[in-house]
Structure 1
Amino acid sequence: MLDTNLFLGFLLVVAAGLGWLAGRLIEQRKKIKKSAIPPAEYYRGLNYLLRDESDKALSVLKSMAQADSGVAEVHFALGTLFRRRGETDRAIRIHQNLLAQPGLARRHREHALFSLAEDYYKAGLFDRAEALFVQAKEQGIRQQAALQKLISIYELQCDWRQAIDVRRQLAGQMPGDHDEVIAHYHCELACQARDANDLVKMREQLKKARQSHREIARGSLMRADLAILQDDLPLAVKLYKRILQSNPEMAALILLRLQGCLDPASPEYSRILADALRRQPELSDHLAKAALATRICGNDVLIKSIRSYIANDPALTALSESYEANYSELAAMLHSIGLARLNFRCMDCGYFAEEMFWQCPACQSWSSAQPDIKTTAMSPVR
């Protein structure tokens, strides 16, 4: 009898436990089902958005955030949409409203903070964006992305010292051509020193640029410019020859700079070019196109390069016969019809300009510009 009573008691306890568990499962299923159905305000907000009534949509969604933190992801999607449409004021209000919610989950709070920083950046409010990206970096929120955004801000504001510091931090976290870019930053500081007529600081910054990246052509060009400012012509010529050999595509820039300190018809000018050609014969075509583009054609070495270049181009050969090998007039004629002009193209995005640039204004990449000289309508872009 006792064993029977114990067994019945055990069954009652098990039944009670199963009943409680079933009740909890049913309650959880109801909650899940309820949460899976978006509230009516959600559809009303989307309807306003589809009708391009952004203010009404924003008002509805703000009230949803106050009532239910589960719609944060919807807010992030809409905030991104507003930012991409250029409605940064609305994106800012969405993300500010999310950050103001006391019960917001940590991951959502971090997302909202970074999104708000991106809103400020897109709106051109760089001081506010900088403060939030610094906060994100220090808190470990998308640290690499925060560093990249800070670099963009400092580059836009020409704050090269800050850019150097942050670029070094980024170099410790992800691979890239950081040393070369830091060398450009030092060249920018050298430009500022030159403009202030502080040649001592200019030299210091160019030395740091070379320490960061020895092969950067811009640094060598600026060191040659500094040598000319200090009346050290032998050093300038030495540097120009070195650039011709390491960066033959820069031939037009070198011809123009040499013209500033030497007569193109002088024996010394010819000797510099002849020496460069002996070391690197393939430089000849670069010199020919550079001579036609800059119209510096009154030099024996350049005339020889032009003649060789024209001989391999039937269209140019026919044109040159009309000018009886007067290459200065040929260059002027080509220039008048839009050819043989010294232009520059970004090799990363295709941005085109008439002046040399070291950072592409379109895609922001460094060292991507190359001279683009077309000598005939059929010439390929190089």
Structure 2
Amino acid sequence: MPELLFLLLPVAAAYGWFMGRNSLKHKELKGRANITRNLSSGLNFLLTDQEDKAIEQLLELLDIEAATIDTYLALANLFRRKGDWDKAIRIHEKLHKLKLPKLQAQQIQFELAKDYYSAGLFDRAEYLLQQIVSCEPLREAILKQLFSIFMATHELNKAVALAAEVEKTKSKSLRIALANMHTQTLQDKLSEPAQSEVLPTAYSNNLAELASRYPQAVRPRYELAKYALLQQDTATAKGALLSILKQKPQWSAELLPMLSQCQMDADEWYQLLTLLADKHHNISARLLLSEWLAEHGSTKAAEHYLLDKLRQQPNIRLFQKLLQLRQQESAQAAEVLSSVEELVNAYLASKVLYNCRSCGFKTRQPYWLCPSCQQWETVEPISGVDGR
């Protein structure tokens, strides 16, 4: 009999293990059934436009199962896109309280900060973003969000303080944004009555440093050239303007009049205009070349030049210049041509001069910051038939 009991012990142990495993499976299946039932209930509330009840139902699941975080993130982002920021905030705040891997927790914190930004709670958004700005996978996106906050709150000096973080990224747009905001802070400081007499040299040096550190940006060099001309420092202005033209020849309409004040010799000026006109097909350079030909050669030579360029590249401004030259030749034709020129002027007065290469925003005024998409230095002179 004891031998029989000894033989039955393994059987009893196996039976106990089998029943215990079935019990765990039963509990797991029951838990999953509860999750499925709650999830289905929450989705049903969503479908019947009972969003508040849906959120409460779905948030209860977070205490049971954290593996569905991606679903909640998608739901919160959906609410944010719809403008239901309070609902998105509630979901992200609940997720933010969970114990998650560091990167996932930082991602949720970033999403919560975006909710706060959308809701106009800039201080809360900034606080959360400053905590995770060194997170490498998210650094660029976080900096862009912080810069948006600083522009909204007019605290551009805070962007300057993040220069070291910007340098850790490869983002050209962030460098351009930082250069523009830093330039604006320098201009604001210079305009203060108490500083206007003691900072001119420092202002010029700071702009030169910015231009050297951020060659991708146009504004520091442009402001440096404009200020240098006011100080009659034509050498500094010339260097800055030529540097911009080499990088952005489409800005010739704005820069060539400034460059003409920099005491360039005749040959250098002619070579520059020829380069811009022939290599870059710039309309402003061609207009100035036609004036040069009329002054140093003859009106006929200028007319032939304009006609040749009009055949290559039709442009209303070149046509307008041709009309002006023709009026100088014949008093009889001047009356007729002047009426045509008036029509051309009226046409040009209605046309935009700049557009944003990022969002397509059109305007007659130049902007460093696009009013539409809030991108820096994307509003540029237009090209084509109406271009300059």
Contact persistence 2:76–2:87 (CA under 8 A): yes
Matching residue of 1:17: 13
Matches within 5 A, 1:304-319: 304=302, 306-313=306-313
Contact persistence 2:249–2:280 (CA under 8 A): no
Q: Structure 1 pair 8/95, CA: closer, same or farther in 2 (3 Å)? A: same
Matches within 5 A, 1:280-319: 282=278, 285-288=281-284, 299-300=291-292, 304=302, 306-313=306-313
Matching residue of 1:105: 99
Deviations 1:143-190 (A, max 9, x none): 554344323323443433432343532432x42325554433332333
Contact persistence 1:288–1:309 (CA under 8 A): no
What one-letter code is carried by the residue in structure 2 that aligns with 1:36?
A: R
Matching residue of 2:209: 208
Q: Distance in 1 between matches of 2:205 and 2:222?
A: 15
What one-letter code is carried by the residue in structure 1 that aligns with 2:23?
A: E
How far is the alpha carbon of 1:44 from its aligned partner? 3.3
Matching residue of 1:248: 249
Contact persistence 1:110–1:141 (CA under 8 A): no
Matches within 5 A, 1:50-199: 50-62=47-59, 64-65=60-61, 68=64, 70=66, 73=69, 74-99=71-96, 104-107=98-101, 112-137=108-133, 142=138, 145-172=141-168, 174-177=169-172, 179-196=175-192, 197=196, 198-199=199-200
TM value normalised by structure 2: 0.73
Aligned pairs, number: 360
Secondary structure of the equivalent of 1:325? helix
How far is the alpha carbon of 1:128 from its aligned partner? 0.5
Q: Structure 1 pair 98/214, CA: closer, same or farther in 2 (3 Å)? A: closer
Deviations 1:303-333 (A, max 9, x none): 9464543242468698877666359967764
Contact persistence 1:343–1:353 (CA under 8 A): yes
Q: Distance in 1 between matches of 2:219 and 2:266?
A: 24
Q: Percent identity?
A: 23
Matching residue of 2:334: none
What one-letter code is carried by the residue in structure 2 that aligns with 1:336?
A: A
Deviations 1:74-96 (A, max 9, x none): 54333222111101022223333
Tell whether 2:385 aligns with 1:375: yes
TM value normalised by structure 1: 0.74
Which of 336, 339, 355 is the equivalent residue of 1:345?
Answer: 355
Contact persistence 2:369–2:375 (CA under 8 A): yes
Secondary structure of the equivalent of 2:380? strand
How far is the alpha carbon of 1:50 from its aligned partner? 2.0
Q: Distance in 2 between matches of 1:16 and 1:55?
A: 52
Matching residue of 1:356: 366
Q: Distance in 2 between matches of 1:140 and 1:217?
A: 28
How far is the alpha carbon of 1:372 from its aligned partner? 0.3
Matching residue of 1:223: 224
Unaligned 5+ segments in structure 2 are 329-336
Matches within 5 A, 1:233-272: 233=234, 235-237=236-238, 239-257=240-258
Q: Structure 1 pair 99/320, CA: closer, same or farther in 2 (3 Å)? A: closer
Q: Distance in 2 between matches of 1:273 and 1:310?
A: 23
Unaligned 5+ segments in structure 1 are none
What one-letter code is carried by the residue in structure 2 that aligns with 1:186?
A: H
Secondary structure of the equivalent of 2:31? helix
